[in-house]
Structure 1
Amino acid sequence: MKMYLISDNVDTKTGMRLAGVEGVVVHEMEEIRNALDEALKDRDIGIILITEKLGKLIADKIKDIKLNYHTPLIVEIPDRHGTGRTPDSITKYVREAIGLKI
Structure 2
Amino acid sequence: MKMYLISDNIDTKTGMRLAGVEGVIVHDIEEVSDALDIALKDREIGIILITEKIGKLIPDKIDDIKLNYHTPLIVEIPDRHGTGRTPDSITKYVREAIGLKI
Scaled by the length of structure 1, the TM-score of the pair is: 0.99
CA distance in 2, matches of 1:56, 1:31: 13
Deviation at 1:67, TM superposition (A): 1.3
How do 1:1-102 residues align onto structure 2 when only pairs under 5 Å count?
1-102=1-102
Root-mean-square deviation (Å) = 0.4
- The CA distance in 1 between the partners of 2:85 and 2:9, in whole Å, is 18
Structure 1: runs of 5 or more not aligned = none
Deviations 1:23-82 (A, max 9, x none): 000001110000000000000000000000010110000011111111000000000000
- The sequence identity of aligned pairs, in percent, is 88
Question: After the TM superposition, which segments of 4 or more aligned residues of structure 1 sit over 3 Å from their partners?
Answer: none
Unaligned runs of 5+ in 2: none
Q: TM-score, normalised by structure 2?
A: 0.99
